[in-house]
């Protein structure tokens, strides 16, 4: 099939080419069209020097020495404006992750109280382990009793005014001591976010470094706080992921089934949809409308949650959400929160697809709102699935075009699963690192962005890493990209360097380990902490590095901030809006090393980006004497 240059340049994924061609034929607008229409994007925004924090503005600082304003009306310089904007991005992301964690805590609370509409406590072992971290008594108590105390304790982390966030204490002692000495050991999840909103108000914090430090603090309350809470409580309620096989890409949609896509982030919803889709009554209904069954598939992080725990296939990542609708094969796209494009409503109207919103926090134009509540979870989930099944009769077979592309993958590598695969201890991993079979561990994560050729940033970077014996852990849209391109099959070990190849073959695992959704980056932190503790060093001494080759969301900024705050060098594939300030850029790319033992680097070329990570790991290995 000969596609136009324009289509081929947008993505490396053949399913995307097919759907973009269809979109052109049907005159349907996609995210790529809107991006092109937005060019040129405003340089003030790109540089981060636009400030709208007060009505004396809006202000923008000219990047040219001899022309234009050099200070905002209040007197803020570019350094101050960029720093303020940056940490507001951090809290945008931190708030999203933390709210997700808060919802999980709330769900656990309801479940413990017996008010959860169909939820149960699946992993009692994990429940007890977490309770232990909070010094909650577990001997001779029912899981509901333990869960109640745990839920209350975790819930309390959000509104806490003083003290510390418990899960931060998983980090090596040295790391926690460093945070304390810098004054960035968070007191409570919400408090740090609120303080940033205060500090960035006009006439409060006007010191770029002080601002950035508070940004790091709020991000730690996300990474080791809100995100960890989300991951751990999801494991308690829905099971800790263990290796499982599945498939990914648009080809997982089925010609003769009711296709339901869950999109968004919280397993609180997607787990129930999956459960409802197995309901015998609804299966009978499906048969009645002429379908062979109900096919549930995921997009983005909620997709990652259900593939990790149940092997439910994933349709695609962030930039493919519109393309899934354009197949014409989707009866319902059910969404909750985060990364959902408001263009889906008008787009769905061009097909029979029902675009269903479920969260009171997230309403969209053109969506049918079927509000979800944890108290009536299973009941509502069944109603939603029923609406989807009934919609099957409105599908027009001639309007359906499902690309054949789909790839097998092996997913489900929670920290616990990795330890189990290693035989119960971290030793085989540590030995492999010491011997050099594994040069180091990389965490490659993050979104898609039309500024980068779709999935090229992800796949090229990961391939370069495994070629150099770096074990790759991945989450989010990067994980989905790796799955689509076959990097999550044990056979992908063939693409790895000899050292890594050997380890993977021995353990029967792929060289790229899917660790879950974006909040599950907390799993990567947990693994790093465990390895650091086993070796008796700080995380910043480890041969580890992070990368987000195609990031776009504020959540990614928060993640980058907490990963670097934890001592992990991180490479970004798209330029963050900080170049307007020499000070901020300096701090993030060099100064941070003296402060938290790690920095950011920006490198749009993914192969070069991998090179930076590899060089960094070599340096750390040398310092460790391995």
Partner 1 sequence: MSQPKEIFVKTDRCVGCLSCTIACAVEHSKSKTLFGAISETPVPKSRVYVEWVEPDGKVPLVCRHCEEAPCMYACISGAISRDENGVVITDTDKCIGCWTCVMVCPYGVIGRHLEEHKAYRCDRCPDREIPACVSACPTGALVYDTVDSFSGKVRKHASRELLRAEGG
Partner 2 sequence: MHPGSCFGQKGDNVTEEKSKYIIVGGSAAGMAAAHTIRRHDRQGSVTVFSEELDTPYFRPLIPFVVSGKKRAEDMVLSGCGPYTGRDIFVRTGARVESVNTAEKTVSVQGSGGLAYEKILFATGSRPYIPPEIKGTDAKGVFALRTLADARNMAKRVETSDHAVMLGGGLLNLKGAFALLERGLKVTLVVYSPEVLSQLMEPEDVFLIRKALDRAGLKIKTGCAATHIISDRTGVTGVALDHGGEMSCQMVCIGKGVRPNVEFLDGSNVRIDGGIVADRYTACNAPDMFAAGDVAVTFEPVSGDRIMTALWTNAVEMGRCAGQNMAGIKTAYSGTFGILNATQVAAEPFVSMGVVHTTDHDFEIYRHATDTTYRKVVFNPEGTRLIGAVFIGDITNAGLYRYVIREKMPVMHIKRYIIDHTLHYGRFMTGKI
Q: Among residues 2, 5, 64, 280, which is the contact residue for partner 2, using CB under 8 A? A: 5
Q: What is the size of the binding site for partner 2 (CB under 8 A)?
A: 5
The item of partner 2, partner 1, none sharing an interface with residue 533, based on CB under 5 to 8 Å by kind, is none
From the CB of 17, what's the least distance to partner 2, in Å?
Answer: 15
From the CB of 605, what's the least distance to partner 2, in Å?
Answer: 20
What residues have CB less than 8 Å from 260, skipping those under 6 apart?
273, 277, 294, 295, 296, 297, 330, 331, 332, 334, 385, 388
Spatial distance between the Cα atoms of 115 and 99, rounded to a whole number of angstroms: 20
From the CB of 48, what's the least distance to partner 1, in Å?
Answer: 12
Q: Is 179 in contact with 185 (CB distance < 8 Å)? A: yes
The three-state DSSP-derived secondary structure of 61-117 is: CCCCCCCCCCCCCCCCCHHHHHHHHHHHHHHHHHHHHHHHHHHHHHHHHHHHCCCCC
When asked if residue 2 is in the footprint of partner 2 (CB under 8 A), the reply is no
From the CB of 33, what's the least distance to partner 1, in Å?
Answer: 14
The item of partner 2, partner 1, none sharing an interface with residue 135, based on CB under 5 to 8 Å by kind, is none
From the CB of 309, what's the least distance to partner 2, in Å?
Answer: 44
Q: Which is nearer to partner 2, 27 or 181 (CB)?
A: 27
Q: Is 241 in contact with 309 (CB distance < 8 Å)? A: yes
From the CB of 24, what's the least distance to partner 2, in Å?
Answer: 8
When asked if residue 1 is in the footprint of partner 2 (CB under 8 A), the reply is no
From the CB of 4, what's the least distance to partner 2, in Å?
Answer: 7
Q: Which is nearer to partner 2, 30 or 295 (CB)?
A: 30
From the CB of 10, what's the least distance to partner 2, in Å?
Answer: 12
93 phi/psi in degrees, rounded to 5: -70, -45
The item of partner 2, partner 1, none sharing an interface with residue 5, based on CB under 5 to 8 Å by kind, is partner 2
The item of partner 1, partner 2, none sharing an interface with residue 27, based on CB under 5 to 8 Å by kind, is partner 2
The item of partner 1, partner 2, none sharing an interface with residue 290, based on CB under 5 to 8 Å by kind, is none
Q: Which is nearer to partner 1, 47 or 519 (CB)?
A: 47
**Interface region with partner 2, contact rule CB under 8 A, candidates 1-9, 183-191, 236-244, 347-355:** 1-9
What residues have CB less than 8 Å from 350, skipping those under 6 apart?
26, 28
List alpha helices for 221-376, DSSP H: 228-238, 267-276, 280-288, 300-310, 321-326, 344-348
When asked if residue 4 is in the footprint of partner 2 (CB under 8 A), the reply is yes
Q: Which is nearer to partner 2, 4 or 425 (CB)?
A: 4
The item of partner 2, partner 1, none sharing an interface with residue 69, based on CB under 5 to 8 Å by kind, is partner 1
Q: Which is nearer to partner 1, 66 or 162 (CB)?
A: 66
Tokens (6 digits) for 268: 């609180």
The item of partner 1, partner 2, none sharing an interface with residue 167, based on CB under 5 to 8 Å by kind, is none
Q: What is the DSSP letter of 227?
A: I
**Interface region with partner 2, contact rule CB under 8 A, candidates 2-10, 254-262, 324-332, 511-519:** 2-10
Bridge partner list, 369: 357
Residue 58: asked if its preceding bond is cis (omega within 30°), the reply is yes
The item of partner 2, partner 1, none sharing an interface with residue 92, based on CB under 5 to 8 Å by kind, is none
Q: Among residues 2, 27, 55, 135, which is the contact residue for partner 2, using CB under 8 A? A: 27
Q: Is 239 in contact with 309 (CB distance < 8 Å)? A: yes
Q: Which is nearer to partner 1, 60 or 84 (CB)?
A: 60
Q: Is 541 in contact with 119 (CB distance < 8 Å)? A: no
260 phi/psi in degrees, rounded to 5: -120, 125
154 CA to centre of own chain: 21
Q: Which is nearer to partner 2, 453 or 501 (CB)?
A: 453
From the CB of 68, what's the least distance to partner 1, in Å?
Answer: 5
Q: Which is nearer to partner 1, 44 or 355 (CB)?
A: 44
Residues of this chain that bind partner 1 (CB under 8 A): 39-44, 46-47, 60, 62-64, 66-69
Q: Which is nearer to partner 2, 4 or 435 (CB)?
A: 4
Spatial distance between the Cα atoms of 171 and 128, rounded to a whole number of angstroms: 20
Q: Which is nearer to partner 2, 6 or 245 (CB)?
A: 6
Residue 295 host element (H or E): strand 294-299
List alpha helices for 136-227, DSSP H: 143-159, 173-182, 189-199, 208-220
For partner 2, the binding residues in 33-52 under the rule CB under 8 A are 36
Tally of CA atoms within 13 A in the half-sphere of 461 that contains its CB: 38
Q: What is the DSSP letter of 362?
A: -
List alpha helices for 336-414, DSSP H: 344-348, 377-391
462 phi/psi in degrees, rounded to 5: -65, -40
Exposure string of 434-463, with b = 16+ CB inside 10 Å and e = fewer, is: eeebbbbbbbbbbbbbbebbbbbbbbbbbb
From the CB of 399, what's the least distance to partner 2, in Å?
Answer: 18
The residues binding partner 2 (CB under 8 A) are 4-6, 27, 36
């Amino acid at each position: 099939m000969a596609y136009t240059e324009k289509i081929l340049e947008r993505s490396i994924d053949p399913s995307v080419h097919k759907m973009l061609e269809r979109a052109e034929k049907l005159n349907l607008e996609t995210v790529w069209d809107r991006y092109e229409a937005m060019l040129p994007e405003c340089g003030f925004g790109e540089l981060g020097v636009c400030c709208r924090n007060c009505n004396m503005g809006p202000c923008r600082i000219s990047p040219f020495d001899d022309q234009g304003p050099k200070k905002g009306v209040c007197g803020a310089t570019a350094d101050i404006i960029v720093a303020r904007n940056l940490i507001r991005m951090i809290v945008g992301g931190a708030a999203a992750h933390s709210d997700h964690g808060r919802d999980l805590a709330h769900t656990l609370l309801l479940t413990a109280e017996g008010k959860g509409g169909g939820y149960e406590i699946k992993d009692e072992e994990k429940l007890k382990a977490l309770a232990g971290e909070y010094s909650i008594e577990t001997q001779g108590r029912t899981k509901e009793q333990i869960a109640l105390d745990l839920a209350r304790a975790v819930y309390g982390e959000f509104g806490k005014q003083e003290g510390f966030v418990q899960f931060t204490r998983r980090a090596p002692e040295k790391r926690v001591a460093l945070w304390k000495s810098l004054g960035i050991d968070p007191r409570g999840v919400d408090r740090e976010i609120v303080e940033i909103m205060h500090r960035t108000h006009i006439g409060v914090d006007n010191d770029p470094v002080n601002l950035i430090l508070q940004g790091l603090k709020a991000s730690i309350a996300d990474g080791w706080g809100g995100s960890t809470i989300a991951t751990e409580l999801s494991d308690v309620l829905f099971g800790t992921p263990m290796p499982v096989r599945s498939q990914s890409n648009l080809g997982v949609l089925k010609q003769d089934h009711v296709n339901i896509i869950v999109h968004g982030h919280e397993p609180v919803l997607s787990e129930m949809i999956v459960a409802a889709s197995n309901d015998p009554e609804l299966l009978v209904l499906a048969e009645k409308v002429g379908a062979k069954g109900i096919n549930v598939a995921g997009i983005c992080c909620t997709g990652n949650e259900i593939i990790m725990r149940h092997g439910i296939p994933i349709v695609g990542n962030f930039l493919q959400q519109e393309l899934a609708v354009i197949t014409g094969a989707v009866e319902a796209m059910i969404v909750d929160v985060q990364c959902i494009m408001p263009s889906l409503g008008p787009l769905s109207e061009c097909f029979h697809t029902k675009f269903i919103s479920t969260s009171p926090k997230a309403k969209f134009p053109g969506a049918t709102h079927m509000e979800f509540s944890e108290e009536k979870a299973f009941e509502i989930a069944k109603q939603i699935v029923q609406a989807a099944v009934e919609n099957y009769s409105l599908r027009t077979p001639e309007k359906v075009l499902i690309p054949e592309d789909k790839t097998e993958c092996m997913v489900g590598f929670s920290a616990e699963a990795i330890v189990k695969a290693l035989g119960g201890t971290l030793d085989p991993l540590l030995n492999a690192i010491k011997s050099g079979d594994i040069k180091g561990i990389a965490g490659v994560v993050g979104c898609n962005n039309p500024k980068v050729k779709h999935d090229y940033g992800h796949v090229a970077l990961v391939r370069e890493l495994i070629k150099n014996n770096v074990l790759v852990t991945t989450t989010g849209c990067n994980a989905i990209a790796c799955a689509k391109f076959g990097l999550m099959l044990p056979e992908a070990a063939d693409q790895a360097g000899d050292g890594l190849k050997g380890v993977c073959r021995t353990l029967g695992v792929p060289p790229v380990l899917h660790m879950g959704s974006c909040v599950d980056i907390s799993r990567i932190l947990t693994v790093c902490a465990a390895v650091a503790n086993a070796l008796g060093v700080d995380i910043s001494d480890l041969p580890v590095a992070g990368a987000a080759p195609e990031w776009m969301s504020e959540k990614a900024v928060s993640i980058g901030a907490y990963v670097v705050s934890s001592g992990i060098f991180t490479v970004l594939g798209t330029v963050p809006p900080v170049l307007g300030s020499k000070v901020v850029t300096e701090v993030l790319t060099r100064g941070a090393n003296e402060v938290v033992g790690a920095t950011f680097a920006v490198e749009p070329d993914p192969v070069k980006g991998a090179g930076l990570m590899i060089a960094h790991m070599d340096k750390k290995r040398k310092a460790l004497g391995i």
